[in-house]
Amino acid sequence: MTFFRTATEVAADLRRGALSSRELTEQLFARIDASDVNAVVATRRDFALEAASRADVTTGGPLHGVPMTIKDAFAVAGMATTWGEPAFAEAVADRDAVVVERLQAAGAIVAGKSNVHHLLSDFGRTENPIYGRTVNPRDPTRTPGGSSGGAAAALAAGLSFVEYGSDLAGSIRIPAAYCGVHGLKPTPGTVPLRGFQPPGPFTDLAREFPSVVGPLARSAGDLRLALSVTGGPLAPARRSRLADFRVGVVLDDPACPVTGEVGAALSNAVDALAEAGVHVVEGWPDGVDPVVQADAFGYQVEWFFAAQKGREPDGADEQERQRAALGTAWAGYFADVDVFLCPTVFTTAPAHDDRRRYDDQVFWIAQASLPGLPALSAPIGGPLPAGLQVIGPSHEDDTAITFAELAADVVGGFVPPAG
């Protein structure tokens, strides 16, 4: 079960010499070679093994000697940044993205890249003309989500110890939910985006919001570790005991009703939390209309793409006023409530190419994305897990992480796929 342990545990063993980074990395490559999930699609073996050998005779940072993979859309020196587009197949980066620099400075060994949907253009699947389709390790007939589907699938299959992805319209949280791992959308601006871009000279995005980059992992604690080394010190969590948390809850909505399977998993989780002493407050925050919020988020995504082309859509000023008012409403809500719980997505992993109510996958995602709140997806439920979305106050990412970490003891956490 070594390959399903947390990065935090593995790093501790590597630092004290209980594990060899070289042997671990060699074994990880063997797992990647034998896997039929198609999650890790490019590797740099000589680099990784040399780095692992050095790690075995030195001491390092909090991720010392831990082999990992990263979403293909990040620049990694000496590797192609393809975005799944054949025109970029030979676009080898000459420098690392900021995220890669910081992960490696913390001791991580970026050994390979995980698959993405073509041009990152789909949040529900991961498939492209270069590397083909990634499948869900829990059921290969189902999608892992996208566009960070390779990242989530790699973790669930035990092919990486920690991952880094991107989330514009749920591309971290949706795959995390479908594959049964943890995935965090940090507060916007926490982690630099430089080097997360199509191939070419590094440039700054014309408009960053609502695009963010963040970690995926098999535990909430690993999310904290990865975020702290890439985004800097975190504001301390509000609570340290599960029973001290005051939690808002909405588990369903007529605008995007959850499936029976997801509804049962969410209800059971909240019941378990209440029995553990968590104070539950039901209902949407005052001043928050989830349908309006979802529609407005769609506008923000369109604005993001328009900005990259040098355009500003009509009504932008009014949209920003609405977004500011929404931020005020959520800030007032979080004065009395610590975190807000809702579905990550209304269903478990669907079959490949099942387009029913496809666009509705972002309804629940939008509730944190539009106001710019940190949000993570935590796994709950059975063989096909559901995603419990934990939304925290702005710039209090560790409050959401800590709640998910403590809640895992009550509602369950990552479980390796059967077989």
> Sheet harboring 40-43: ordered strands across?
40-43, 109-114, 67-71
AA letter at 166: S
DSSP string of 204-267, one letter each residue: --S--TT-EEEEEESSHHHHHHHHHHHH-PPPPPS-SSGGG-EEEE----TTSPPPHHHHHHHH
Q: Catalytic residue at 171? A: yes
Backbone angles phi, psi at 404, to 5 degrees: -60, -35
Given the DSSP bridges, would you call strands 182-185 and 212-217 parallel, antiparallel or unpaired? antiparallel
Question: 114, 166, 171, 377: which one is catalytic?
Answer: 171
Give me the numbers of helices (H) and strands (E) for the chain, helices first please. 12, 13
Question: 21, 147, 219, 377: which one is catalytic?
Answer: 147
Q: Catalytic residue at 211? A: no
Q: Catalytic residue at 147? A: yes
Of 3, 58, 53, the residue nearest 28 (C-alpha) = 3
Of 166, 147, 146, the residue nearest 208 (C-alpha) = 166
Q: In whole angstroms, what separates CA 103 from the centre of its chain?
A: 16
Q: C-alpha angle 400/404/408, rounded to 5°?
A: 175
Q: Cα–Cα distances in Å, from 234 out to 103, 165, 238, 401?
A: 16, 19, 12, 11
Gap between the Cα atoms of 387 and 393, Å rounded: 19
Three-state DSSP class for 359? helix
Backbone angles phi, psi at 235, to 5 degrees: -60, 140
Task: Name every residue whose Cβ is closer than 8 Å to that of residue 117 and which is 6 or more positions away in sequence.
Answer: 84, 125, 126, 127, 128, 146, 147, 149
Task: Name every residue whose Cβ is closer than 8 Å to that of residue 205 and which is 6 or more positions away in sequence.
Answer: 193, 197, 211, 307, 308
Question: 71, 113, 114, 166: which one is catalytic?
Answer: 71
Helix (H) or strand (E) holding 165: strand 163-167
Three-state DSSP class for 123? coil
Catalytic residues: 71, 147, 171
